[in-house]
Chain A
Amino acid sequence: MIDALTLAVGVTALALAAWCGFAFSRDQPTKDWHFIGMAVVSVLALVQLVVGVVRLGGGDRPGQGTAIFVAYLLGSAAAVPAAGFMSLAERTRWGSATVAAGAVILAVLEVRLYDIWGG
């Protein structure tokens, strides 16, 4: 699939983490631009989910098992939106920290997805 897409999601997630970490260090909550960034990363993760499911439907099988693969795909699609909603409720620097943590988690999930697909 997915190598290029996995890389894209991972790199954009790390960029989002750095950006929101910067906002945290400057004592700022997440702002509109951050949410646009979250939307970009979330759309990429959703595309990855769709591509992954289509590839499964086409008969491809991930090396470490389909159930784990789908679970990680769902987790990666949900991570940044969930963190974004929490930062909507937390209008302090800690909302930014939450999104940064969510983006780091997404990057880790991408590494695991790469392993799971490759076996």
Chain B
Amino acid sequence: MSGSRTDEKPGFDLGQGPGRLLVWLYGVFTVAAASRSIVQMIMDFGRAPLAYVLSAVAAVVYAFITYSLVRGGPAARKAALVCCAAELAGVLVVGTWTLVAPSAFPDATVWSDYGMGYLFIPVILPVTAMMWLRRGVVAEPA
């Protein structure tokens, strides 16, 4: 898990304070989405390939955001913002998709029904993360 790789960058702390909670939640969701898609792909890829691939994509996005938050720095913040927007778009598109065309998804993804199986955290997380990342812009003296 991401707990051991907190590298200290003086002056710019995306992963400090409230950011620490975000790092933790994104780390957990990286592990959850990755292990879910890996297990499902190994066990029965043919059953719902689209759902499993989308879970894997979600895992990659989560992993990248976790890494960016831990790493810190202006470039990482920008990259994390883009990824959070992509994540939010992903949740909304996949969530709507699962509701409109459930037949395309014989098995659930992390983002099915707007992340209802995960307490709607997949929707809430990118919004709070973007608020945190944008607040970092104001707090940082240029």
- A interface with B by C-beta (< 8 Å): 65, 67-68, 71, 75, 78-79, 82-83, 85-86, 89-90, 92, 94-95, 97-98, 101-102, 105, 108
Contact = CB atoms under 8 A, between A and B. Distances in A.
A92 B86 CA distance: 31
A67 B24 contact: no
A97 B20 CA distance: 9
B3 A71 contact: no
Interface in B13-36: 16-21, 23-25, 27-28, 31-32, 35
Contacts, number: 51
B24 A98 contact: yes
B39 interface: yes
Contacts of B43: 65, 67
A89 B21 contact: no
Contacts of B139: none
B1 to A, nearest CB: 4
B88 to A, nearest CB: 20
A94 B21 contact: yes
